[in-house]
Amino acid sequence: MTYFSPDPGTRPAPAWLPCGAIEHDVIGSLKSGKEAEVFVVEWRSLDDGRSCLLAHKRYRPTAVVKGELEARGFTKARSFVNDSVYHEGRRFRRTRDARAVARMTNHGKKLLGDRWVDHELDTMRTLWDAGAAVPYPVQLFDDGMLMELIGDAHQAAPRLVSARLSADELAAAFHQLVENLRIFAGASIVHADLSPFNVLWWDGRISIIDLPQSTDLVLNPQGFELMHRDVVRMCDWFCRKGFTCDADSVFADLLDAVW
């Protein structure tokens, strides 16, 4: 049993989210990706019995002892990704930690892994408050985060790559994407791994997910390059699907949102 009260952000938490004394059950595994495994969790209020389904994204441990993965409910270990480009502009305060990261010791890898988790939730919170179409970030756990499940009790939302959009839906998705990227840019956030695999489509709306590698647009010396890469990747996909758009004019539009 946990006690939950929503973070008092500038945008209210969704009304359907139970608060107070909560019990939760893991319903099943939704997706097993490279870095993380996403589980569906039922979240129930012990006060009034209201419930909802949430997504629990859990990062696999990088350094594990025999039997630990199975005991923690995972199927395989995470392959460690060198994420220095995304961490530009953020530093470790203690020199011992900085040395461990530089040498990539197990302690260093754990520090980087922990930061990814904290950072994903913080970024989602900032974006949610700014009005972006991201799942509502509910709570931080030591290995990941709990967030709104995009979808319903029968199916999770498909990713754009497999959503089979009509021409009108494709146009709507594109306009929503640009509107959201303006919000990202206005908050000085670059997704940095944006692709049709990290955009969900549900009920005529997009949701942008998978933000651990997001970085500061201005503080990171490669921020604008990463934003350009995101825009090009998305525009290439929309063009291949038959919706004509121009990455450079979207990029110029986003620069306007920054300045």
Counting every residue written for the chain, the total comes to 259
User: Smallest gap, in angstroms, from Cβ of residue 124 to ligand ADP?
Assistant: 10
Binding site for ligand ADP (CB under 6 A): 30-31, 33-36, 38, 55, 57, 135, 147-151, 156-157, 159, 197-198, 200, 209-210
Nearer to Mg ion, 100 or 116 (CB): 116
User: Smallest gap, in angstroms, from Cβ of residue 198 to Mg ion?
Assistant: 5
Instruction: Name the nearest CA neighbour of 42 among 17, 64, 77, 59.
Output: 17
Examine residue 198 and tell whether it contacts Mg ion (CB under 5 A): yes
Nearer to ligand ADP, 78 or 251 (CB): 78
Nearer to ligand ADP, 41 or 245 (CB): 41
Nearer to ligand ADP, 34 or 154 (CB): 34
- What, of Mg ion, ligand ADP, none, does residue 38 touch, CB below 5 to 8 Å by kind? ligand ADP
Interface pick for Mg ion out of 35, 120, 143, 210 (rule CB under 5 A): 210
Cβ partners under 8 Å of residue 37, min gap 6 = 29, 31, 57, 58, 60, 74, 75
Do the Cβ atoms of 76 and 207 come closer than 8 Å? Answer: no
Cβ partners under 8 Å of residue 181, min gap 6 = 230, 231, 250, 254, 257
Q: What order do you get walking across the sheet with 137-141 strand by strand?
A: 2-4, 20-32, 36-45, 51-59, 144-148, 137-141
Residues contributing to the site for Mg ion (CB under 5 A): 198, 210
